[in-house]
Structure 1
Amino acid sequence: MAKRVSIKDIANKVGVSTALVSYVLNGLEKEKRIGPEVVKKIHEAVKELNYQPNQIARSLRKGSTSTIGLIVADISNPFFGQLARVVENEAAQFGYAVVFGSSDENAANSAILIKTLVTRQVDGLILAPPEGSAEQIKYLMNQGIPFVLVDRYLPDISTNRVVLDNYNATYSAVKCFVANGYRRITLVTYKSTLVHMRERIRGYQEGMKDNGLSDFIVVKEVRYNQIKEDMEAIMTGLLNERGMDAVLFATNALSISGLYAIRKSEVKVPEELAVIGFDGHEVFDFFQPPLSYIQQPLEEMGKESVRVLIDQIRGSQKTVHIEMRHQLITRKSCG
């Protein structure tokens, strides 16, 4: 087995002290007034000897691993996949790498991921907390571990968060339906106590009430781990009964699943059924007619989450609540 190249090996090759090599490798050559010729020789030796720094030792010296953890519901979900990409790119701008994990909306999985990442000494965490994770959030607070909640938050615990104006998002969708002559508007959402889902339901309900449509309020809930089966049953029932003339889907995954059910039914959109989805996705462009949808400012959410976290890592004691504004993209599916 080949011997691991050390700083001492580089120092011996160049003919300088190990301290001087360390200064150069840590970017302190100007501060320590090391000549450019020596710096060049050290970098050449590093390349020639294929020196790989000991990241664990470096982390201990710096008191930082230069990594952050990102825990979302499901990294394969288009919304969270895109969010993860933005977080990864933005973190790199600050010199951080990102370690990803999916909780599958399960508190036990989330607890394991948090413990694993904390044990690996990540500098901070960005979380989309599942139901039942309040104790995990309190643990992070008590341990003084920097973290930011994204997409959803816990209303009884004041923490850093970057979220959408969920209430206004669904309220504006109802308003759009009504403006185009639709009255029997159904909301399809997850069966969840999470605040962002409850706020989307509340926005829909208040929108219906404010437009004199209280009698037509219908909320259908889908189980997270039974999306396909529940969606098919819900949409088949609603379409067969002809009990609605418009449907609003509360998430990206529900929108995609709902579109497949609608296409399978051969219902004409928007003549027989108007549709508004949630979050942009390439599937929406292939659906005919093109789907209207509520757009979350994904890039801004990801970037702000990283910026808030970096501030916390650097010592900020300020608790930040950021609510991003949605955009309603209206196309031909809602009249």
Structure 2
Amino acid sequence: MKNITIKDIALKAGVAPSTVSAVLNGKTRESRISEQLASRVRGIAADMGYQPNQTAVALRTGKTRVLGLIVEDISNVFFASLAKIIEEEADSIGYKVLYCSTENNEEKARERIRMLSQRQVDGFLITPTPGMRAEIDRLASQHKPLVLMDRYFPGLSVPHVVVDNYDGTQMAMQHLLEKRYRRIAFVTILLDQVQMHQRRQAYEDSLRVAGIPVEENLVLQLPYHCKPEESVQQIREFISENQGLDAIFFATNYVGVYGLEAIKDLGLSIPGQLAVICFDDHDIFRLYSPAITIVKQPVALIAQTAMQLLIRQFEKGAGTPRSSGSFQVLQPAQLVIRAST
């Protein structure tokens, strides 16, 4: 099937190819083309099935109108929701999104950035792994449009949008303490990531303010790459070894799912024998009986704010140095109280 060209459209419309080019590139006003003629040209182009040569457009404009999105795990509910909203926001302004996962693998993360750079994406939206600091710093030094989400690197002047992890955890802990739970365990992931450090810090600070000693044996750190069945076993053993627990705070949603399986295996009732709370929501938490209390992240707000920050960089132009000052946008978390506490 023959590719439809601007010349084909011009011939059918009875106008010059330059007129068609101006219409299809949104330059009708500068070229003094009437809206009536522009509408007719666009209609003919659509009827003929015209598809612009994206390579040619990129060479001419220096823009691919493609964004690169890198997340930790696209199968995770939080990151999947984030990607969906970003894709919708990008569509609304005529951009497409290439997205991929790192699975917190540093080599894979570096390869993803190289791949997207080779595709000449116009901007990056990234939830970085600890090992990506050098690559993020390099993109920033090249003044590439760039926004980090969910986490960031202290000391790097890169725009980032994150939930207030400390305040969200503190709200959850305050809720547990007000319900008179005292022996509260904390199950997290062994990762050198700022958001996980902030959640643990808030857990410990909340206990200290309440006059409750912080017991190291009540904190379980699971290896990130641990198989699900191994994580369930470790949580099961952790609960069995710490008799008399009142409640467990799971630091992220997939760990909370593992925790529910472990609690079920042990035959413990929620919240009668053990209260449960989790940072991040999950469909399972709403459907579980009893439903699980969670700290909810404003996913839509994070995605929309990240896109706004990226668009501002487009408006300033790639290669423009970023102004000094704070680049952090903190979004509030919400405590959603359900039957598990």
Compute the displacement of 1:7 (Å).
1.0
Counterpart code for 2:335: L
Q: 1:235 to 1:39 in 2, by over 3 A?
A: closer
Aligned residue runs from structure 1 range 275-286, under 5 A = 275-286=276-287
Which residue of the partner structure matches residue 128 of structure 1? 127
Moved over 6 A (4+): none
Which residue of the partner structure matches residue 106 of structure 1? 105
Compute the displacement of 1:64 (Å).
1.2
Is the 1:172–1:207 contact (alpha carbons within 8 Å) kept by the matching residues of 2? no
Is the 2:233–2:262 contact (alpha carbons within 8 Å) kept by the matching residues of 1? no
- Unpaired segments of 5 or more residues in structure 2? none
Which residue of the partner structure matches residue 306 of structure 2? 305
Counterpart code for 2:327: V
Which residue of the partner structure matches residue 238 of structure 1? 238
Is the 2:170–2:203 contact (alpha carbons within 8 Å) kept by the matching residues of 1? yes
Specify the SS of the correspondent of 1:104: coil
Task: Name the CA distance, whole Å, in 2 between partners of 1:328 and 1:48.
Answer: 52
Aligned residue runs from structure 1 range 189-204, under 5 A = 189-204=188-203
Aligned residue runs from structure 1 range 140-159, under 5 A = 140-159=139-158
Task: Name the CA distance, whole Å, in 2 between partners of 1:17 and 1:133.
Answer: 50
**1:256 counterpart = 2:263:** no
Counterpart code for 1:214: P
Counterpart code for 1:238: F
Q: 1:124 to 1:332 in 2, by over 3 A?
A: same
Q: TM-score, normalised by structure 1?
A: 0.94
Specify the SS of the correspondent of 2:97: strand
Is the 1:222–1:230 contact (alpha carbons within 8 Å) kept by the matching residues of 2? no
**1:4 counterpart = 2:18:** no
Compute the displacement of 1:286 (Å).
1.8
Identical pairs, percent: 36
Q: 1:260 to 1:8 in 2, by over 3 A?
A: same
Is the 2:169–2:279 contact (alpha carbons within 8 Å) kept by the matching residues of 1? no
Compute the displacement of 1:163 (Å).
0.7
Task: Name the CA distance, whole Å, in 2 between partners of 1:245 and 1:61.
Answer: 64
Compute the displacement of 1:212 (Å).
1.5
Please identify, of 208-217 and 305-314, the stretch whose mean Cα deviation from structure 2 is larger: 208-217
Please identify, of 314-323 and 325-334, the stretch whose mean Cα deviation from structure 2 is larger: 314-323
Compute the displacement of 1:49 (Å).
3.1
Specify the SS of the correspondent of 1:254: helix
Is the 2:153–2:194 contact (alpha carbons within 8 Å) kept by the matching residues of 1? yes
Which residue of the partner structure matches residue 228 of structure 1? 228
Q: TM-score, normalised by structure 2?
A: 0.92
**1:271 counterpart = 2:278:** no
Counterpart code for 2:197: R
Task: Name the CA distance, whole Å, in 2 between partners of 1:42 and 1:287.
Answer: 56
Compute the displacement of 1:146 (Å).
1.0
Specify the SS of the correspondent of 2:130: coil
